[in-house]
């Protein structure tokens, strides 16, 4: 019996914008996430998916409601350095090469030097960039930079990997390839992954469950279990079951 | 149309060459055509200046070094003060709001007036050169570095926050390396100004330094030395600027290459 690792209870986020209007970014969101699960937060702009991710990560505070991770608050979890986070832009340091970029979080935490080298090697192997360790970010393509971002996020062996539309800035082909790579990585590390996206096929391909969010106000419209077999391969994208899921999810959006 | 390295060198040489030729022509025009008796003081022949320079090079360079070394020291001190100020202002919005007006006002006083004021207070020639160079340097460095700190993208800071980095780490590992290009912009602005200010202090009555040579040679109508000194000081300004550029290339090797790479995002 999987104990929920992460519990989101009645979380709402409201803020006032520049015009003095109240924006309901999230209203009364409740969700349980199991350990080792791959879950997607899917929705168009303004549905609150990134807001929810940031609340989990303790980068934002909810207006009401609470989040607990194995009984700890987001802040406590963050301070215990249990998160890995990947953004839409790779956010790499131009002044460090790939290896030193991956190393950065470990320096902050104080992982001993010998262990650092071993982990960097493992991470680069995991994302398929073993040969690019000494390259600088500007020498890499967008897809490769994102892979470094993933390697860096995993370097701390986090319990939860938070990904905020990590592949949205890339072209379709690179994105699909990285989807498959990510699943391979997940298969090896078994981290819990919370993945934010606005791409319906991507959300289905990757996850165990898709949380569909609709905007104005931001809310959960549906939670869809994805009963597709693993490991998921490229051919799955063309299967009838896959298309059925796409249709089902498309229809569960409200007010878009 | 992109110019290759070789093209650019050729362009520079042609440019330099034509300036010298134009100059010789103008000097000749002034002397022979217009028959100006004061020609040698207004526009000397380049070859005359060169001959004087070669003849007097030891004393000129020594004088230049005196001024330049003090300016350099002041520049370094001013730079450190500027960086410290930028850090303080970025840590506290209140500090920034309080400090900024004073900073702006500090730069309102023209250098020409500043030099005698500083000399009057400090009363020592060498110290004055250092102080004025520091004074000129700290402002561009502080302002530019603060600008650099402020332009760090939110996501980079969020990343640091997500792994619970402390302030020291955030500054050492993110803010400072990120802002190095901004620091060097400030230094590049300050370098020639610091040298000029230092020369100005010379002229207030020191016994060494290139500014003194300029002044004395002007008053004693030794125009050859005058022009040679002027060119030495111009050379010092250019040298100081190029030293900063060289240092920039050393510390920020990624800067130029990174901006050339297009289409990664």
Does residue B61 or residue A31 have the better pLDDT? A31
Mean pLDDT of B111-115: 83
Residue A166 scores a pLDDT above 50: yes
For residue range B216-232, what is the model confidence (pLDDT) as tens digits?
888 887 778 888 888 88
Q: Residue A89 and residue B165: Cβ atoms within 8 Å?
A: no
Mean pLDDT of A60-80: 90
- What number is the ipTM of this complex? 0.83
Nearest to B87 by CA among B193, B198, B172, B11: B172
Mean pLDDT of A51-62: 92
State residue B36's pLDDT score: 67
Number of Cα atoms under 13 Å in the Cβ half of residue B48: 16
State residue B264's pLDDT score: 41
| Distance to chain A for B180, nearest Cα, Å | 10
**CA separation, residue A43 to residues A14, A47, B224 (Å):** 18, 6, 78
Helix (H, G, I), strand (E, B) or coil at A226: coil
Q: What are phi and psi of A34, to 5 degrees?
A: -90, 160
* Residue in this structure with the two tokens 């104005």, named with its chain if needed: A216
Mean pLDDT of B109-136: 86
Task: Copy the structure tokens of residue B171.
Answer: 């500054």
On whether the CB atoms of residues B249 and B81 are closer than 8 A, the answer is no
State residue B265's pLDDT score: 40
CA–CA distance, A42 with A195 (Å, rounded to integer): 8
On whether the CB atoms of residues B141 and B183 are closer than 8 A, the answer is yes
Enumerate the residues of chain A whose CB falls inside 8 A of the CB of residue B174. 93
For residue range B152-163, what is the model confidence (pLDDT) as tens digits?
998 899 999 988
Helix (H, G, I), strand (E, B) or coil at A105: helix
State residue B210's pLDDT score: 84
Burial of A26 (0-12, 13-18, 19+ CB in 10 A): buried
Does residue B261 or residue B65 have the better pLDDT? B65
Mutate to test the interface with B, among A95, A103, A139 (most CBs of B within 10 A): A95
For residue range B51-61, what is the model confidence (pLDDT) as tens digits?
888 888 888 88
On whether the CB atoms of residues A70 and A35 are closer than 8 A, the answer is no
On whether the CB atoms of residues A224 and A245 are closer than 8 A, the answer is yes
Enumerate the residues of chain B whose CB falls inside 8 A of the CB of residue A139. 261
State residue B117's pLDDT score: 86
Mean pLDDT of A190-214: 94
For residue range B173-216, what is the model confidence (pLDDT) as tens digits?
999 999 999 999 999 999 988 988 888 888 887 778 888 888 88
Question: For residue B262, what is the nearest residue in chain A, using CA coordinates?
Answer: A138
State residue A20's pLDDT score: 83
Residue A216 is given by DSSP the state: T
| Distance to chain B for A216, nearest Cα, Å | 25
ω into A164 cis (within 30 of 0)? no
Nearest to A242 by CA among A256, A232, A252: A232
């Amino acid at each position: 019996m999987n104990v929920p690792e992460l519990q989101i209870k009645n979380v709402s986020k409201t803020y006032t914008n520049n015009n003095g209007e109240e924006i309901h970014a999230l209203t009364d969101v409740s969700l349980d996430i199991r350990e080792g699960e791959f879950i997607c937060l899917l929705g168009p702009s303004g549905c609150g998916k990134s807001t929810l991710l940031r609340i989990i990560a303790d980068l934002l505070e909810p207006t009401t409601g609470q989040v607990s991770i194995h009984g700890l608050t987001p802040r406590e979890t963050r301070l215990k350095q249990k998160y890995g986070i990947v953004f839409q832009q790779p956010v790499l340091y131009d002044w460090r090469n790939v290896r030193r970029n991956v190393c950065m979080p470990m320096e902050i935490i104080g992982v001993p030097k010998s262990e650092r080298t071993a982990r960097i090697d493992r991470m680069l192997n995991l994302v398929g960039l073993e040969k690019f360790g000494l390259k600088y970010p500007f020498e890499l393509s967008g897809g490769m930079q994102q892979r470094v971002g993933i390697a860096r996020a995993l370097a701390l062996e986090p319990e939860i990997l938070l990904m905020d539309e990590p592949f949205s800035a890339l072209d379709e082909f690179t994105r699909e390839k990285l989807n498959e790579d990510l699943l391979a990585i997940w298969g090896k590390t078994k981290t819990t992954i919370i993945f934010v996206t606005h791409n319906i096929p991507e959300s289905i391909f990757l996850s165990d469950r898709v949380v569909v969010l609709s905007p104005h106000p931001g809310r959960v419209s549906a939670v869809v279990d994805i009963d597709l077999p693993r490991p998921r391969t490229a051919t799955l994208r063309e299967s009838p079951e896959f298309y059925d899921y796409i249709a089902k999810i498309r229809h569960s959006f409200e007010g878009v | 149309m992109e110019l290759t390295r070789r093209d650019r060198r050729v362009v520079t040489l042609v440019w330099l060459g034509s300036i010298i030729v134009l100059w010789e022509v103008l000097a000749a025009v002034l002397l022979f055509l217009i028959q100006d008796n004061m020609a040698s003081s207004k526009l000397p022949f380049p070859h005359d200046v060169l001959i004087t320079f070669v003849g007097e090079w030891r004393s000129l360079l020594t004088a230049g070094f005196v001024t330049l070394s003090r300016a350099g020291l002041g520049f370094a001190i001013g730079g450190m003060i500027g960086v410290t100020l930028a850090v303080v202002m970025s840590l506290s919005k209140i500090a920034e709001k309080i400090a900024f007006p004073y900073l702006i006002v500090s730069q309102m006083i023209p250098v020409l007036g500043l030099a005698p004021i500083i000399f009057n207070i400090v009363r020592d020639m060498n110290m004055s050169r250092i102080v004025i160079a520091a004074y000129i340097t700290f402002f561009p460095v502080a302002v530019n570095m603060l600008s650099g700190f402020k332009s760090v993208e939110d996501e980079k800071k969020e990343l640091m926050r997500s792994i619970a980095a402390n302030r020291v780490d955030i500054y050492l590992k993110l803010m400072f390396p990120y802002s190095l290009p901004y620091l060097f912009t400030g230094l590049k602005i300050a370098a020639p100004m610091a040298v000029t200010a230092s020369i100005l202090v010379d002229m207030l009555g020191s016994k060494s330094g290139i500014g003194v040579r300029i002044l004395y040679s002007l008053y004693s109508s030794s125009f050859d030395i005058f022009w040679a000194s002027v060119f030495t000081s111009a050379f010092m300004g250019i040298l100081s600027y190029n030293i900063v550029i060289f240092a920039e290339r050393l510390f920020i090797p990624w800067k130029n290459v990174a901006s050339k790479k297009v289409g990664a995002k």
